[in-house]
Structure 1
Amino acid sequence: MLYHLMQYFGDAVPGSNVFNYITFRAGGAVMTAMIISFLIGPWMIDRLKMRQGKGQPIREDGPQSHLITKVGTPTMGGLLILVAVSLSTLLWGNLSNPYVWIVLLGTLSFGLIGFADDYSKIKGGHSAGVSGRVKLLIESIVALAIVLCLSSSMPASLSTSFAVPFFKDFLIDFGIWFFAFGGVFVIVGSSNAVNLTDGLDGLAIVPSMIAAASFGLIAYLVGNAIFADYLQIHYVPGTGELAIFIAALIGAGLGFLWFNAPPAMVFMGDTGSLAIGGALGSIAVATKHEIVLAIIGGLFVLEALSVIVQVASFKMTGKRVFAMAPLHHHFEQRGWAEPTIVIRFWIIAVILALIGLSTLKLR
């Protein structure tokens, strides 16, 4: 909104030209989202506590310590993130840019799916929410719509292709199969991987911000013809504006972390984790860095793989590979303290992000 106001008034407002710079507006988006989170956080947490009563139902087959330490903590804290991200993006973003609307509405859609799941858990008083098959079907439909919209907004040469990191100008054109792979596998996979990681206080939000910051840089470079040419990465006009949305997501994440730091006052729930994962997947598709997402978001991949391996192993052999899945629960069962697991996983997320970013130059 501010961008369009400054465009309208032009020279009548001194210094209005700074709103033409994505970096300036990204800085404003970070601060705005963070301030919104700080301001409405206590009010929202109080309302969630009042409406939820006993808070988020704790899974009985999880670590038994959680039945004591985390009982009564409200969930749906992802609403705080979504409100802050939406308001900040609408305030600082270029609202004529299709990528901004596609990613924002896609994120809110995944947030709505997560909200329905959280609401079902609270209403039913148990950790089982919406049926997994139903949830996966709806997620796939939303993801497919996102990919179709993104593909129609980018150059035809890129719309159905995957860029391969470490290689210059190397594209794999999947044709019509790209929509299924890009939509279901990348976006839905990312959404559920973040969801599986959200099991300890502060565990999911910091790696999410690290991944978001990495893709904020990628979006800015991919959307800039000069930088894209210098780095020999694929230029996707307009994607630089996604840096505003990503900056808002980081600011909202920082504000949420204030209340989610151990011991958490609120959990993000599926409302937040599905939305954040969906956002990261959508941005990866928009910037043609789907494969790089698997590197930068490698922590989420490991968490998801641990569940897949555990389930497959138990069904085929009757034995479990891990003491408990997802992976962070395995280390809990091995005696690691929660803060130790969380901080070490943060370190892993930073290392993977640096490796992922190195692909921008190593070509």
Structure 2
Amino acid sequence: MVYQWLYSLAEQYSVMNVFRYITVRTFISFFTGFFLCLIWGPHLIDKLKNFGQSIRDDGPQTHKKKAGTPTMGGWLILLSTIIPMILWIDVRNPLVIGTILITWGFGIIGYIDDYLKVSKKNTKGLSGKIRLFGEFAISAAVILVLIQYYQLSTVVSFPFFKTLTFDLGYFYVAFGSLVIVGTANAVNLTDGLDGLAIVPVIVATSTLALFSYIVGHASIANYLQISHVAGAGELAPLAAAMVAGGLGFLWFNTFPAQVFMGDVGSLSLGGFLGSMAVFTKNEILMLVLGGIFVVEALSVIAQVMSFKLTGKRVLKMAPLHHHYELGGMTETKIIVRFWIISILLAVLSLATLKLR
């Protein structure tokens, strides 16, 4: 919150007045996070060389050469957001606090999962039931407190339908938690190729950063006839720091990857995305904006259900990106096409601002 001290100097130095604006702090937060990520990246990757990635035995054979690549690179993204938070973000804001708690809580769960995989030299890691319990517990606790003490709205609205809304009351705790946990695990499933998950996360986070600014601005929200969420604008500089950390990570993760984000990265980033969707009241829109993640998750569900019910698989391998790999499509082509689709979905999501 150094920006508040700088802003207090505005009477003596008028230029300091710029720090009162969320837009200015959003840009500064972005560049702070990005350059910190580039500076810390090589040092952290060197430290992570003892934590090599384990590769699935039943996975594509082309992935065997990736065994031993440092994992847990998600720490690079998370650590790159700390200083921007201290400098440029109001960490007393309830929505900011809630988002940070969920992001870091999921990151710690992911770290435990990664550590167990590395130490045991397998791909199983933490029990799925324990992991889901922890994720739901963290999400539910944060949402309940925000509803109880900070008037987080329990109303759910639908894109393209201005008047279609439902007030879930305290059932919103379960619904919001499902959005956050579902997003986190969908991102986790998407993280299977070099750079595949991080760019859709960057695109979705950038979009939600814009939404957070809009819903946090009473006049703009009223003009666009969308729900105003007091204090949501402060999520924009936080999202900018996360986008910057993601871009810095991509610098090292692009094919061929020097480091993988691991579950510490995919779960924390997914938790962050889910939190942003819930706290900006875009829970249903997340199905569109995060369409890549949704389809990847559905492909796994379809594969499992089909095999259990019929003994046959609908895909060569799940998640979906592995199906395309085994079908002969190159890794780079799959990655770039998924990136393109994520951008198209972001544009469609932004279009709902005037169409809803």
- TM-score of the pair, normalised by structure 2: 0.97
Q: Secondary structure at the match of 1:149?
A: helix
Q: Which residue does 1:165 correspond to in 2?
A: 159
Q: Which residue does 1:17 correspond to in 2?
A: 17
**CA contact 1:98–1:153 (8 Å) conserved in 2:** no
Deviations 1:41-63 (A, max 9, x none): 000000000x32xx111111111
Q: Which residue does 2:189 correspond to in 1?
A: 196
What is the distance in 1 between the residues matched to 2:98 and 2:13? 31
Structure 2 CA distance for partners of 1:235 and 1:153, relative to 1, 3 Å: farther
Number of residue pairs aligned between Structure 1 and Structure 2: 356
CA-atom RMSD, angstroms? 1.2
Report how far residue 169 of structure 1 moved: 4.7
Report how far residue 71 of structure 1 moved: 1.4
Mean Cα deviation higher: 143-152 or 39-48: 143-152
Q: Which amino acid aligns with 1:165?
A: P
Q: Secondary structure at the match of 2:166?
A: strand
Deviations 1:65-114 (A, max 9, x none): 1012x112010000000000122122110223111111112101110000
Q: Secondary structure at the match of 1:359?
A: helix
**CA contact 2:188–2:263 (8 Å) conserved in 1:** yes
One of 134, 144, 151 as aligned partner of 1:138: 134
What is the distance in 1 between the residues matched to 2:341 and 2:41? 29
What is the distance in 1 between the residues matched to 2:169 and 2:352? 25
One of 19, 35, 60 as aligned partner of 1:63: 60
Q: Which runs of 5+ in 1 are unaligned?
A: none
**CA contact 1:154–1:236 (8 Å) conserved in 2:** no
**CA contact 1:34–1:252 (8 Å) conserved in 2:** yes
Deviations 1:135-168 (A, max 9, x none): 111111011122123324654xx62221111222
Q: Which residue does 1:119 correspond to in 2?
A: 115
Q: Which residue does 2:47 correspond to in 1?
A: 47
Q: Which amino acid aligns with 1:212?
A: T
Q: Which residue does 2:239 correspond to in 1?
A: 246
**CA contact 1:197–1:303 (8 Å) conserved in 2:** yes
What is the distance in 1 between the residues matched to 2:57 and 2:149? 46
Deviations 1:292-349 (A, max 9, x none): 1111000000000000000000000000001100000000000000000000000110
Q: Which residue does 1:88 correspond to in 2?
A: 84
What is the distance in 2 between the residues matched to 1:15 and 1:146? 38
Q: Which amino acid aligns with 2:42?
A: P
What is the distance in 1 between the residues matched to 2:99 and 2:283? 15
Alignment of 1:201-350 (within 5 A): 201-350=194-343
Report how far residue 350 of structure 1 moved: 0.7
Q: Which residue does 1:27 correspond to in 2?
A: 27
Report how far residue 228 of structure 1 moved: 0.1
What is the distance in 2 between the residues matched to 1:100 and 1:34? 20
Report how far residue 172 of structure 1 moved: 0.5
What is the distance in 1 between the residues matched to 2:146 and 2:289? 21
1:149 partnered with 2:142: no
Between the aligned residues of both structures, percent identity stands at 51
Q: Secondary structure at the match of 1:253?
A: helix
- TM-score of the pair, normalised by structure 1: 0.96
Q: Which amino acid aligns with 1:228?
A: A
Q: Secondary structure at the match of 1:360?
A: helix
Deviations 1:234-292 (A, max 9, x none): 00110011001100011001100000010000000000000000001011111111001
Q: Secondary structure at the match of 2:161?
A: coil
Q: Secondary structure at the match of 1:291?
A: coil
Q: Which amino acid aligns with 1:43?
A: H
Report how far residue 171 of structure 1 moved: 2.1
Q: Secondary structure at the match of 1:74?
A: coil
Structure 2 CA distance for partners of 1:360 and 1:153, relative to 1, 3 Å: farther
Deviations 1:196-252 (A, max 9, x none): 000000000000000001000100000000110110000011001100110001100
Mean Cα deviation higher: 98-107 or 116-125: 98-107
Report how far residue 40 of structure 1 moved: 0.5
**CA contact 2:7–2:18 (8 Å) conserved in 1:** no
